[in-house]
Amino acid sequence: MSSRLGTWTDRVCAEGDRTPLSGLYKGEHWLQAHAVVDAATRAGFQAQLWVVSAGLGLQPTTASFPAYAATFSAGHEDSVAATGVDRRLWWKGVQERIGASTLADLGSRGSVLLVLSEVYGSVLTTELRELGQLGGDTLLVGGSEDIPGVQRVRANGSLRKALGGTLTGLNARMAGSWLAHCEDGVLASPATTESWTRWVKRSAHRETYNRTPMTDAEVKDFIRASAATHDGISRTKLHRMLRDSGRACEQKRFANLYSETMGER
């Protein structure tokens, strides 16, 4: 892994064509991330947006880097874990070579609000524990496990209807809603927690999905037809299109069928 990691970081550092990270990231999640910053400002915090990047480590979005593709999430062609790399060791190496700071560094400066998927929360377990040991004002929305010293709000799909949008941006929307309940300038205060909990009890709505199962041949036909009419569309977006149409195909199975289908072209 050290050789692959070294090659990656050398290329990132050597590339001259750079753009602020705030201009590189797209999609609903990042639109919601900026909305969280706005919500934090309204709640009285001096907010700065940072990114947890599989390719760059922990970075402020004001930092400039070349365009890149890397993720810790499984099922993506750019996944760090695709070749069997230990995600936590990769993160540690990227942090040491490129990372601008650690979570504990941020926690020593003030309140920290983290919005993490289950996978990314697992990758950052060590840094989260170090952050929790500071005993500061820290809130984690999402993540993979409870961390001593870090108040956690678990991802809650029953809030999607109340908050709108898709499940992709749900954690960020939950963070924004939490901040709307924060009126005392402390993220993890008892008053904010109580206000949020009351709202969740009123707003939770369990959704059920009755999607139609598909055979492998039907999925492949869908992939061929959709790829032909949506030039350059990613596998992830194709899968979302399929699910939004009311049909079902598990993510890993879809990824395998996508690879087989696109290899046939």
pLDDT in tens, 181-226: 999 999 999 999 999 999 999 999 876 656 888 999 999 998 988 8
Domain map (residue ranges) of the chain: 2-155, 212-264
Q: Are 136 and 114 in contact (CB under 8 A)?
A: no
Q: What is the pLDDT of residues 151-163, one digit of tens each?
A: 999 999 899 889 9
For residue 136, how far is the Cα from the chain centroid? Answer: 23
Give the residue from 57, 47, 78, 73 showing the smallest Cα distance to 9: 57
Amino acid, single-letter form, for residue 232:
G
Q: Are 171 and 116 in contact (CB under 8 A)?
A: yes
Q: What is the pLDDT of residues 88-121, one digit of tens each?
A: 999 999 999 999 999 999 999 999 999 999 889 9
**Is a pLDDT exceeding 60 seen at residue 265?**
no
Please indicate whether residue 228 or residue 236 has the higher confidence score (pLDDT).
236
Query: If you average pLDDT over every residue of the chain, what do you get?
Result: 91
Distance CA 180, CA 129 (A): 27
**Is a pLDDT exceeding 80 seen at residue 60?**
yes
Give the residue from 51, 5, 33 showing the smallest Cα distance to 174: 33
Q: What is the pLDDT of residues 237-263, one digit of tens each?
A: 889 888 877 888 998 999 999 999 987
Distance CA 10, CA 99 (A): 13
Distance CA 236, CA 254 (A): 9
Determine the 3-state secondary structure of 27 from DSSP. coil
